[in-house]
Amino acid sequence: MKKISSLPLVVLILALFLESGCKKQPTATNTQVTGNLYGYVTLYDQYGGKIFSGLNAVTVTLNTSSGSVSNATTDSTGKYGFNGIAQGQYTIGYTCPGFGSLLNSALGFLGEGNIDHDAKLSAIPNFFDSILAPPTDTLGNVVLQGTFSGSDTRKRTYVVFVGSSPSVSSLPANYLIYYSGTANNNLTTFTVKIPVSDLNDAGFTSGSTVYFAAYGAAASFASTSDVEDLANTGRLSFSAISANAATTSFVMP
């Protein structure tokens, strides 16, 4: 029987091995996918009407989770934009002189294509609640009566914050609950009825003192300037409200 040499097979295997070893292996690329963030900011006056002037005065601030900050300014139509931003979590804030500010946290961006994110800002009211009469207890309600300052007779919105100390205010750490409402045209006074059961639920008991702070508010204050205090109280803070407040107190029956 003729003996078949295995030498050619060994040479072939060796050649294939050397060829595969000489080939340059592909390397991973670190190309980062980016995209664009655009939006429009709408401005409202203190009565809820749209404002069509001054739209180019809004500053938009984009903060990343790593701490980098980018700023943009709206144009005459209220439009703003950020180009080439990467995937991640962002906080975006809106500020304009004379208007309540707005802050949106944990805005997720996939980093590809465009994302639209609009915002609304309301003017800070130039009226405020100058007087709060001593509250009364009527049919299971604590009744507050307030008087608006100024001569304006259009519908005006108010917000009343309730707390357990004389330092009660709109700051999340200084109030427990709040109530809002609107006084109709030509009315200079307003009335707030707060159920005693609400105060009980907030921790007030017989003999304890309840403190109230009332502010003038933009008609859409709750949707244009609310920011949740996630780190501490979980309550909302509002910036489209008057700088001054009227205060009073009440002893629980």
73, pLDDT greater than 90 = yes
Q: Across the beta sheet with 209-217, what order do the strands follow?
A: 177-183, 156-163, 209-217, 241-251
**pLDDT the model gives residue 31:** 62
Would you say the CATH fold of 129-251 matches that of 34-122?
Answer: yes
Annotated domain spans of the chain: 34-122, 129-251
Cα-Cα end-to-end distance for the chain: 119
| Nearest Cα to Cα of residue 159 among 74, 218, 97 | 218
21, pLDDT greater than 60 = no
| Type of residue numbered 184 | N
Please compute the mean of the pLDDT values over residues 82-108 and round it to a whole number: 90
Does CATH number 2.60.40.10 belong to domain 129-251?
yes
Q: Domain 34-122, what architecture?
A: Sandwich (2.60)
User: Model confidence over 115-171: pLDDT tens digits?
Assistant: 899 999 999 998 876 788 899 998 999 999 998 877 777 889 999 999 999 999 999
pLDDT band at 245, cuts 50/70/90?
A: very high
| Type of residue numbered 172 | P
Give the DSSP letter string of 207-246: T-EEEEEEEEE-TTHHHHSEEE-TTTT--EEESSEEEEEE
**pLDDT the model gives residue 7:** 47
Report the predicted TM-score, pTM, of the whole model to 2 decimal places: 0.80
